Structure 1
Amino acid sequence: MSHFRLVAASLLLGTGLAGCASSGPAAPTTAATTTTPTAAATPDPKGVGLDVADLDRSVSPCDDFYEFSGGNWLKTNQIPSYATSWGPRNLLGLRTQATLKQILEEAAANRNAAPGSNLQKVGDFYAAAMDTAAIEKAGIAPLKPELARIAALKTRAQLPALLAYEQDLGTGAFFRSGVQVDEKNTTRYVVQFDQGGLTMGDRDYYLKDDARTQKVRAAYQAYMQQLFGLLGDSPAAAQRNAATVERLEKRLAQASRSRVELRDPQANYNQMALAAAAQRYPAVQLPKLLADMQLSKAQEIIVGQPAFFDEVNALLKTEPLADLQTYMRWHLVRSLAATLPAAFVDASFRYNQVLTGARQQTTRWKRAQAATDATLGEAFGQLYVEKAFPPAAKQKALEMLANIKASMAEHIQTNTWMSAPTKAEALKKLNALRVKIGYPDKWKDYSALPISRESYAKNVLAARHWESRREAARFGGPVDHTEWGMTPPTINAYYNPPLNEIVFPAGYLQPPFFDPNADDAVNYGAIGGVMGHEMTHGFDDQGRQYDAAGNLRDWWTPQDAAEFTKRAAIVARQYDAFSPLDSVHVNGKLTLGENLADFAGLTIVHAALEKQLAQRYGNGPRPKFDGFTPEQRFFLSWAQLRRQNIRPEALRQQIQTDPHSPGQYRTIGPIMNMPQFQAAFGCKEGDKMTRTAADRAVIW
């Protein structure tokens, strides 16, 4: 699996409202050529979109804006037993899922769909995923050829072929590899290798020894023993095999970079000639590995974390083949547990209960729907767009983006601490920003992917092989700027640094995030805040390291770079001080990019709204709705979309692994620095929502 796909997938599972993905030269954006409607041509706002009943008016907005904006909602919207957190995005998700369920059930019921069509493949995939009787009857039979392939390993000379096969299957064993855009020459693709191989996802679960971590590790050991037992191992053998897997994964964890260290794109870019890499990592047998991955043309590779691969090399060289087989066997079955009988699914859920605090499993059809989206996302997405995404929504979103982009340009031009040369490069990058709205202009072609009703597991295996072959075929060709890292129904968005693009799937462009009937203040505070967030990711502590063409190149003067770093450090310290649980603090360095994007995005979107209001009302009075001014409604809209109830276990996991801060700090963190907020609500020096001038962060 490629680096890009893995990052994109992680966004789909994250708790944040937006994120970055990684993976070309830029062209003028669609938004750049869109004209903004005049005030006379714009209808009067209807004053809808805010849930004023959700406010807790017993709390002062200047004391705790998170509670003021949504305290009643937080009290009355408990987390469902199948969820680990609950917020507006979940509510939108329920509505979207109902539409998707209808599409899937109609497709599954249609036995006359043209063979090979998207409708046939989507219908057959969903039907196979829902056929629990067939899944129980098949047992582990669909995995037996894959298990036999691992069992057939006899010599280390056979390792490259098996490693390549496991990479194609996306089992997650040992490391991640794939074809992605070259971050220092975005006109071409490169082969990249990155650290991986850890089931528990984060190295600290293997290295820390506090009570919480010990509890997670115990659940993980039980999970492994259960799955090995289901594969036919005796209890004693299952226990030994679980210990072997954890021992090998701990070796990999000790060599892994931390999540904060992984935020340095320069450190993750280590170009090596294939001959030099093969000499450094002889046990990996890179020439053979690449040939088996159908990438024999590659004469150089990018190694994300060289020291990690030193350990992979040592592990492949010194560990008994039987232990390597046990490790690969585990990763195979773990990665496909959801496609197997209920005993496998239930064991996986019991482990995740400890990790996230979930009370019960999501219903079968929702899991099957998510799997269809993950496997046949654009085939499924075409059916969704035809049913649920009106062209008018796309046009309105483009108009808003054009206004926000113009505001960002003004903030760059009027910036007081940035020099003229750096400003010129920043404007060049902004003007080159690509915008994707709703759905791809060019859809993926699934014609070579066989999907039937025979077996859920076989369908997933076939799809993984197909995707790996599709990605390998890109190598040596021109960079494809039409590709998307999210599917159309996804309720999320992302900025992609090497392609210098922002992407907003159709699923996000719905109420309450985007409502054509809402007044400007609400839309700018909601989806506008997301648009500003994604746009300013191009200028956060990571994104700013990429130029207008998406190349990883330092275009800042040393003085400007130092000033930016100093100002960003203030934001990091502010978030370090936030503590949602006893002895648990937000990691200001891990969350810095997302926090900067929240803060900068909200600042430029507020200015875009002010310009829109000036066009509409001139110097005249600005109407109140529900007793609130447009400026107040803007901040309330921002806050109401970030309210969230979350289980303590899930909150701890988020703080440890997620680059997004918890919802309450995404709400108040930026506005505490904004005089615009203080002016809107009449907050004064000394109020909790007001930072002093000395403590205030100012970026744009």
Structure 2
Amino acid sequence: EKAPAIDWLSCLQAVFHPMPMNLSQPIVVHDMDYLRGMSQLIQQWHNERVLHIYMIVCLVGNLSPALDSQFQDARLELSEILYGQMGSRMVPAERWRKCLTDTSTFFEPVLGQMIVQEIFPQQTKKLAEQMFSEIQDALCDQLDRVEWMDERTRQGAKARVSRLQVELGYPAHILQTDKVNLEYTNLEIKEDTFFLNVVACLKILRENSYLKPLQHHSQDKWHVSPWSVHSYYSIRHHMVVFPAGMFRSPFFHVEFPSAVNFGAIGVFMAHELLHAFYGYVLPGGCPTCNRSALQKSIDCLVGQYESYGFEVNGTSTLLENTADTGGLAIAYQAYKNWQKKHKEKDLPEIGLSHDQLFY
């Protein structure tokens, strides 16, 4: 009623196919003013060719990268006409990069399975799990020495560490070949029809993405591919993710001295672990803590980063600075604890101590 120019049910059924849609389903609308204004424009242009042309331009813009250079050139020329100087900067990616990106996007579960089996053996996974456990223990020990925490908050923080979900290497379901194959049941790829292959892949990708919310126990919690070099902490799932791509030289190797592994991937691990405690240092995040002592520590860290001579606002970067500085300290303590239980490897003729190797 508020945006009557569009047949919303038919539109949503087409967009979200094969997900079933009906009039009784609640839908969250974030910007009603936008939809109302769009409806008015559609009514205004209904009898003209503006919408028709606009949809063709969008379609060509989205699919032309899957065609040859003639279409790429035409798209660039159109962009320059439509957007002026800004459009001239829209240079298409190199063909090899486009093919690589599309392949990794369309076939991530399959490629992930192949890559994980190649670069992330059980020996690597086991050592990574042991290192992260050591870092968790070092953090819990450090919590006992945090002056601004009261005992109740301290115990709550330790419980938060123990409840953390840790994902190392890859999501478990990508090794389940039968489930991976299900995602491509209706996909047909032909050797001599690249454009149609891209269209078919886009269709399957869209359908799978819309069906996943209907799965009560969706396994798709990861926001990165297994081969990426990007770890993160998920607030929603209280989970840290370290993809297999992180466990490669120069960050990690099973044959590296422990000092090198803890000084590289170990610092990343501790950094992401500390993201789970951002709430404690934010205003009002820890009402039972000694706010005066906490503020003193915050001011010290802010001052440290602003003293480096760069244009750094220590307050704006406080949370990342906390994870960086604290992560380094915790990883180092975890390494020292590890040293007590394991014989350290030496790098011959390098002339550096284990502590120097860590840093």
In structure 1, how many angstroms separate the alpha carbons of the residues matched to 2:145 and 2:302? 24
Match of 2:111 among 368, 376, 380: 380
Deviation sequence 1:631-650 (CA, Å, 0-9, x none):
22222xxxxxxxxxxxxxxx
Q: 2:358 aligns with which of 613, 626, 634?
A: 634
Residue 558 of structure 1 is aligned with which of 287, 292, 303?
A: 287
How far apart are residue 517 of structure 1 and its match? 1.7
Shift of 1:400: 0.8
What is residue 177 of structure 2 aligned with on the other side?
none
- Would the aligned equivalents of 1:441 and 1:482 in 2 still touch at CA under 8 Å? no
Query: Larger helix proportion, structure 1 or 2?
Result: 2
Q: CA deviation at 1:539?
A: 1.6
Q: Paired residue for 2:143?
A: 412
Please give the alpha-carbon distance, in whole angstroms, between the structure 2 residues aligned to 1:496 and 1:513.
Answer: 22
- Is 2:122 aligned against 1:391? yes
Aligned-pair CA distance for 1:559: 4.3
Q: Deviations over 1:463-515 (max 9, x none)?
A: 34434433433445533356432222222222222111122222221111112
CA distance in 2, matches of 1:160, 1:495: 37
**2:6 alignment partner in structure 1:** 157
Alignment of 1:616-655 (within 5 A): 616=342, 626-635=350-359
Q: What residue number does 1:342 align with?
A: 69
Paired letter, 2:118: K
Is the contact made by 1:575 and 1:588 (CA closer than 8 Å) also made in structure 2? yes
- Aligned pairs for 1:138-537 (under 5 A) are 156-158=5-7, 161-162=10-11, 294=20, 296=22, 306=30, 309-320=31-42, 322=45, 331-343=58-70, 345=72, 363-443=94-174, 444=180, 445-453=182-190, 455-475=193-213, 477-481=215-219, 483-537=221-275
Q: Distance in 2 between matches of 1:459 and 1:389?
A: 30
1:595 pairs with 311, 316, 321, which one? 321
In 2, are the aligned partners of 1:623 and 1:629 still within 8 Å (CA)?
A: no
Evaluate the alpha carbon distance shift between residue 312 and residue 575 of structure 1 in structure 2; reply closer, same or farther with a 3 A threshold: farther
Where in structure 1 are there 5+ consecutive unaligned residues?
1-154, 169-290, 546-553, 636-700
Look up the equivalent residue of 2:119 and give its one-letter code: A
Q: Summarize the alignment of residues 573-584 of structure 1 with structure 2, pairs less than 5 Å apart.
A: none
Distance 1:512 1:472, change over 3 A: same
The alpha carbon displacement at 1:432 in A equals: 1.1
TM-score (norm 2): 0.74
The letter of the residue matching 1:612 is: W
Letter aligned with residue 595 of structure 1? N
Aligned counterparts of 1:544 and 1:301: Cα–Cα separation in 2: 36
CA distance in 2, matches of 1:383, 1:468: 23
- Aligned counterparts of 2:348 and 2:22: Cα–Cα separation in 1: 65
Contact conserved, 1:295 with 1:472, CA < 8 A, in 2?
A: no
Secondary structure of the residue aligned to 2:289 is helix
What per-residue deviation string (whole Å, max 9, x for no partner) do you get for residues 31-65 of structure 1?
xxxxxxxxxxxxxxxxxxxxxxxxxxxxxxxxxxx
Deviation of 1:573 after TM superposition, in Å, equals 7.1
Q: Is the 8 A contact 2:270 2:330 kept in 1?
A: yes
Inter-partner Cα distance in structure 1 for 2:198 and 2:337:
50
SS of 1:442's equivalent in the other structure is helix
Identical-pair percentage: 25
Question: Which deviations, in whole Å up to 9, do the C-alpha atoms of 1:276-334 show, x marking residues without a partner?
Answer: xxxxxxxxxxxxxxx9963559865666xx5xx14423432333465666666555444
Amino acid at match of 1:317: S
Instruction: Tell me the secondary structure at the aligned position of residue 503 of structure 1.
Output: strand
Equivalent of 1:613, from 310, 335, 339? 339
Q: 1:617 to 1:293 in 2, by over 3 A?
A: closer
Matched to 1:560, the amino acid is C
Contact (CA 8 Å) 1:533, 1:598: kept in 2 or not? yes
8 Å CA contact retained: 2:240, 2:272: yes
CA contact (8 A) 1:422 1:556 kept: no
**How many angstroms does 1:407 deviate by?**
1.0
Structure 1 pair 485–406 and aligned structure 2 pair: CA distance change class (3 A): same
Mapping 1:671-690, distance limit 5 Å: none
Deviations 1:236-278 (A, max 9, x none): xxxxxxxxxxxxxxxxxxxxxxxxxxxxxxxxxxxxxxxxxxx
What is the one-letter code of the residue matched to 1:611?
N
1:331-375: CA deviation from partner (whole Å, max 9, x where unpaired)? 544444532332555666999xx99xx9x9765334312221112
Amino acid at match of 1:627: G
Query: Alpha-carbon deviation of 1:387?
Result: 3.0
Look up the SS of the partner of 2:337 in the other structure: helix
Q: CA RMSD in A?
A: 4.3
By relative contact order (CA 8 Å, sep 6+), the higher-ranking structure is 1
Structure 2 unpaired stretches of 5+: 175-179
